């Protein structure tokens, strides 16, 4: 039985998925890894990757398709099919460094309470959700570190997204490297592009399946985990590259979707307070007046969360 199940949702990106899988095959603990790829909708090109002869040195990936849904649904189905004690969510455009999985496994093995104790904290009582090995130790969630892949030719927009935290806000949690984040902020950093946790916890806390737009479903998931007392440890030693070039036009379209999604997800979970209000809303309005990267993004977000803007 594998120790770690990698869950990879994908949607019509066979080329970069192929590279993602190559990087997984180069992991130092590849013999302990199960790969579960969930195609969000049918794509012949993606399916063809798994019709090729598998590497005889490794367990063949588990691949299946689901009706077109969203990433959260695909992750849930992947967790249900996984057999490892630990599951790790990554994106199909995430290129793991060779020791990344080893670092995740080591942390889950050496730190924190037994998974059976974490299950008690989180209220896991269903035998179906229990780990086959209740003595496996885990710190809760482990967040790895992800940076833009330089091979993508990093744009000014990509640098801005990093600096502001609209893509990844790792610079804001640098003081908490190798330790757990404060409970009141940890949900903002539950990046499902590179995060691991015990499978029994993932089964107990699935992603909402009524989030129909891209964005915020991972933050909402992280909020529920934090409320249940499941800690999030940030480990910058588990490294990965994000192979996804983002132009200004791409980012503004994404921001409009995030604005729409923020309204919907906040209705589902009002405690998240995703839509700017009061002084923050007026600050967005002010910056939206200027033709800067910041101003254009503020206007794009407001235009969809407040259509009258």
Whole-number mean pLDDT of the chain?
A: 89
Report H helices in 26-155: 44-49, 71-81, 100-110, 115-122
Read off the pLDDT of residues 31-71 as tens digits, 9 standing for 90 and up. 999 999 999 999 999 999 998 777 777 888 999 999 999 89
Model confidence band, residue 212 (pLDDT cutoffs 50, 70, 90): confident
In sign, the C-alpha dihedral spanning 20, 23, 27, 33 is: positive
CATH number of 4-242: 3.90.550.10
Q: Which residues of 76-97 are buried (b: 16+ CB within 10 A; e: fewer)?
A: bbbbeebebbbbbbbbbbbbbb
Count of Cβ atoms closer than 10 Å to residue 186 Cβ: 24
Domain borders along the chain are 4-242, 248-305
Alpha helices in the chain (DSSP H): 14-25, 44-49, 71-81, 100-110, 115-122, 156-164, 199-204, 217-227, 248-268, 278-287, 293-305
pLDDT of residue 131: 43
Q: Compute the distance between CA of residue 156 and CA of residue 162 in angstroms, rounded to an integer.
A: 10
Q: Give the tens place of pLDDT for each residue, 128-162.
A: 444 444 444 567 999 999 999 999 999 999 999 99
């Amino acid at each position: 039985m594998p120790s770690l199940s990698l869950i990879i949702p994908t949607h019509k990106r066979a080329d970069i998925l192929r590279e993602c899988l190559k990087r997984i095959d180069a992991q130092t603990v590849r013999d302990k890894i199960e790969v579960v790829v969930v195609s969000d909708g049918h794509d012949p090109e993606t399916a063809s990757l798994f019709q090729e002869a598998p590497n005889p040195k490794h367990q063949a990936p588990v691949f299946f398709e689901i009706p077109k849904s969203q990433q959260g649904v695909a992750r849930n189905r992947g967790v249900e099919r996984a057999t490892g004690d630990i599951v790790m969510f990554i994106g199909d455009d995430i290129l793991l460094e060779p020791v990344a999985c080893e670092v995740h496994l080591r942390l889950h093995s050496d730190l924190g309470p037994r998974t059976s104790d974490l299950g008690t904290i989180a209220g896991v009582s269903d035998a179906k959700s229990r780990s086959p090995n209740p003595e496996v130790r885990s710190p809760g969630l482990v967040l790895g570190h992800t940076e833009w892949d330089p091979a993508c030719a990093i744009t000014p927009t990509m640098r801005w997204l990093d600096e502001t935290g609209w893509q990844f806000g790792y610079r804001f949690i640098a003081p908490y490297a190798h330790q757990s984040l404060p409970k009141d902020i940890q949900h903002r950093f539950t990046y499902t592009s590179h995060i691991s946790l015990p499978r029994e916890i993932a089964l107990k806390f699935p992603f909402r399946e009524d989030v129909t737009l891209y964005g915020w479903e991972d933050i909402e998931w992280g909020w529920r985990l934090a409320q249940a007392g499941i800690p999030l440890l940030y480990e910058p030693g588990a490294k990965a590259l994000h192979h996804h070039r983002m132009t200004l036009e791409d980012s503004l379209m994404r921001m409009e979707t995030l604005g729409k999604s923020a309204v919907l997800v906040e209705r589902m979970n009002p405690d998240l307070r995703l839509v700017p209000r009061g002084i923050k809303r007026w600050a967005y309005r002010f910056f939206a007046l200027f033709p800067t990267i910041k101003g254009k993004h503020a206007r794009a977000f407001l235009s969809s969360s407040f259509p009258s803007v």
